A and B are shown apart, each in its own frame.
Chain A
């Protein structure tokens, strides 16, 4: 079994606050890994550390077999990784085509290949009619689609996607799901975070659940569900109170 992502005791503190508490991730190659957790659980912090956007406080991490703590190996790993970061990472004053060309060249993709891939990606993601706009004129959903195009353009072995479906319309969402399904089917790996459990349930083969910085579950989707829905299992693992929410008497009584 070869691992696409492997961490040992990966932790991140912000002053005294522990955002990620020594997690041991194991993501096999060729899997579609959904990384779930409530708000503030440490999902984005983990993805930032794995992609090199944030330094861990302690612990080890290996991406595609490369030690990310080693500067030289980190660059080798980055050459095979595509990322949609949390706040995206677009240059305001470039058009979509210019930005994608820039990204492609950063990954040393041949120019002709870049051109043909852009010509396929822009219409596929519905950005063709807006390709002359600067990215600062894009809506959030359009920016997200452009970031996805940039992530897949170098044809990486591993994709890190932080909330890729947030703010994206239903049509494009379908396109992205199909695209990612084909991508995994050929043997590549996707590591994604999402709040939309239905999408995770449809797409992912493996799931990790992080709560308050701790990895509380990591298994294949089937092993995790054990006959119940992912949502129920997630709520159980996330520690949602089984008791009914205590009634807010002042809310029931009307305006004060």
Chain B
């Protein structure tokens, strides 16, 4: 790589960063500087802390403990690295090739610069000190043979980053076709989310617990029955009880022995496990496995990087194309059969919504259509769907079947609140996903109140569609009384309208431009981020009053003063009516606010990323 080019690119990267900061304003720069200093401090703390753990705590630990510690570090690193990867599935080059490949720069130089730029991330800033500190701590504290651990850890990071870089490049080659791109983004995100949820699901279902506990429970129950039936004496009971306990301990020990064996096999079979194997072997005075693993990582990393380079080369040289169908020949304009005016159906966007103005209906339907098609929104919707699967699974397993009657309606409240919460990123940045399309609203003669109404209505099917199955499940497995069940839809509407009023404010005061196909803001700024945090913390407080009717009924029931009147239902309907009235007033005011702020919003959401 040409040293002059390298220096120029480093300068360019720095200049772009400084300019971006300058555009964000002084407050943004100060807050980012504080956060940056915090991350640097944290890195130092992690470096010293992990060194001390390696130097003081681990020297006396058995090889198995070392194996598990390194496995833990490696697994957390991989999960964290993959989380970053998920946010930016299609590799976005730090330096877009088309911006400088007409200059006298080799593709290999550009590729390497982009790869090195991809290493600058929060995960790396936090994990590099841990890997270095732990390796050095063990070297000085346990055995000099463990000096092999530092290059081993570095070569592992090289392999992991090169492999993911290759993966991103491969995805980019697939995503040259824009339609296929959408499917790939959603499928890969779904796979990642499911992988991240595996530990969570295992923890919830605890498959091992049932087997061990059930056998011991069964044996103990049988023993107790025999004692009660006077088939055995008390001495025999004690003796047998002792034997059951001893067998159980033996089974547990065998389980852990098997687990240890499987852990070794898994560590040998899966390359990320080689880091732990290297540490464990070096701790026993054998550096050879670590050295072999290091060369293995280096070879895998180099091969991945080479493949990634080949992919970049092919993309750059146009060997990947959008593909798709061969265009069908179009008849000359004069020969074309005249279209029958007004006969084609436009689908959803052409629908009329009862009691809703034409503008609001158009915005709601076009907005909904756009939302369900946008890959970034599909990615956002995955979180509530996963929540649905997890909590639905819990309900199906009957994990909360012991819930008292007055607590059961809280499950529906929780389901609605959770769905609203997980969609906060979308609802609180309603214009950010419009990007340049927001100009349509600025140019339109529609009253701004109708624009907000349409935007809120576009969200409604998503929120209601996701929360309703969970509410139905809750009602099937944890049924409430009829009056409380009837109250749920009214409570739902109340919660949604309160949510919309807050989300509208956030959308107007903290718009963030979102790049197409990504969930990440294009130019993240601190003030909108802080306002979003405020929204997240305010939301539960704002939703709290919707529980008042239930609370009042519970209190009156405790005093035995309900006289058979469905207090909760009546108060919920009343509250819903009040909130609908309030929403009508607030949205009119918010419409004027939108009109006064629309140019500022446009400036932000239509901004192009550098």
Contacts and interface: CB of A to CB of B under 8 A. Distances in A.
B350 interface: yes
B336 A123 contact: yes
Nearest to A135: B437
A92 B371 CA distance: 11
Interface in A141-189: none
A192 B435 CA distance: 25
11 contacts: A85-B439, A87-B439, A89-B438, A92-B435, A106-B446, A115-B343, A115-B346, A116-B342, A123-B333, A134-B179, A137-B179
B333 to A, nearest CB: 7
A38 interface: no
Contact of A90 (B344, B349, B437): B437
Interface in A101-132: 101-103, 105-108, 111-112, 114-116, 118-120, 123, 126, 128-129
B106 interface: no
Contacts of B538: none
Given A53-B599, A115-B344, A120-B341, A89 B437 contact: yes
Contacts of B442: 52-53
B445 A79 contact: yes
Which of B436, B599, B606 has the most chain A CB atoms closer than 10 A to its own CB?
B436
Which of A53, A87, A91, A115 has the most chain B CB atoms closer than 10 A to its own CB?
A91
Nearest to A83: B443
Contacts of B437: 89-92
Closest 10 CB pairs of A and B: A89-B439, A105-B362, A79-B445, A116-B341, A78-B445, A116-B342, A91-B437, A93-B373, A102-B366, A115-B342
Contacts of A128: 336, 339
Interface of chain B, helix or strand or loop or mixed? helix
Q: How large is the interface on A (under 10, 10 to 19, 20 to 34, 35 or more residues)?
A: 35 or more
A105 B361 contact: yes
B595 interface: yes
Interface string A66-87: 0000010001111111010101
B575 interface: no
A27 to B, nearest CB: 19
Contacts of B336: 123, 128
B178 A111 contact: no
B445 A90 contact: no
Nearest to A91: B437
Contact of A134 (B359, B373, B602, B606): B373
A54 interface: yes
Contacts of A24: none
A111 B341 CA distance: 12
Contact of B592 (A71, A80, A118, A119): A71
B346 A97 contact: yes
Q: How large is the interface on B (under 10, 10 to 19, 20 to 34, 35 or more residues)?
A: 35 or more
Interface of A: 51-55, 71, 75-81, 83, 85, 87-94, 97-99, 101-103, 105-108, 111-112, 114-116, 118-120, 123, 126, 128-129, 134, 136-137
Given A53-B439, A93-B374, A107 B178 contact: no
Given A71-B592, A94-B366, A108-B358, A119 B344 contact: yes
A123 B178 CA distance: 24
Nearest to B451: A106
Interface string B292-311: 00000000000000000000
Interface in B12-42: none
Contacts of B596: 71
Contacts of B374: 92-93
A83 B443 CA distance: 8
Contacts of A98: 346-347, 349, 366, 369
Nearest to A79: B445
B120 interface: no
B347 to A, nearest CB: 7
B553 interface: no
Nearest to B439: A89
A54 B439 contact: no
B370 interface: yes
Nearest to B336: A123
A112 B359 contact: no
B444 A106 contact: yes
B516 interface: yes
B143 to A, nearest CB: 58
Contacts of B330: 129
A93 B181 CA distance: 13
Contact of A119 (B341, B444, B599, B602): B341
B178 to A, nearest CB: 5
Contacts of B438: 89
B440 A106 contact: yes
A98 B351 CA distance: 11
B440 A89 contact: yes
A16 to B, nearest CB: 15
B435 to A, nearest CB: 7
Contacts of A119: 339-344
B18 to A, nearest CB: 17
Contacts of A85: 439, 443
Given A79-B445, A112-B342, 7 more contacts: A53-B443, A98-B366, A99-B366, A116-B341, A118-B344, A134-B179, A136-B516
A52 B443 contact: yes
Contacts of B436: 87-90
Contacts of A115: 341-344, 346, 350
A118 B438 CA distance: 22
A97 B366 CA distance: 11
A75 B373 CA distance: 30
Contacts of A79: 445
Given A98-B347, A103-B440, A119-B342, A53 B362 contact: no
A107 B344 contact: no
Interface string B578-603: 00000000000000100110010010
Which of B179, B343, B349, B435 has the most chain A CB atoms closer than 10 A to its own CB?
B349
Nearest to A122: B339
Interface string B509-542: 0000000100000000000000000000000000
A137 to B, nearest CB: 5
Contacts of A103: 440
Nearest to B365: A102
Which of B373, B443, B444 has the most chain A CB atoms closer than 10 A to its own CB?
B443
Given A53-B599, A115-B344, A78 B447 contact: no
A107 B444 contact: yes
Contacts of A123: 333, 336, 339
Contacts of B71: none
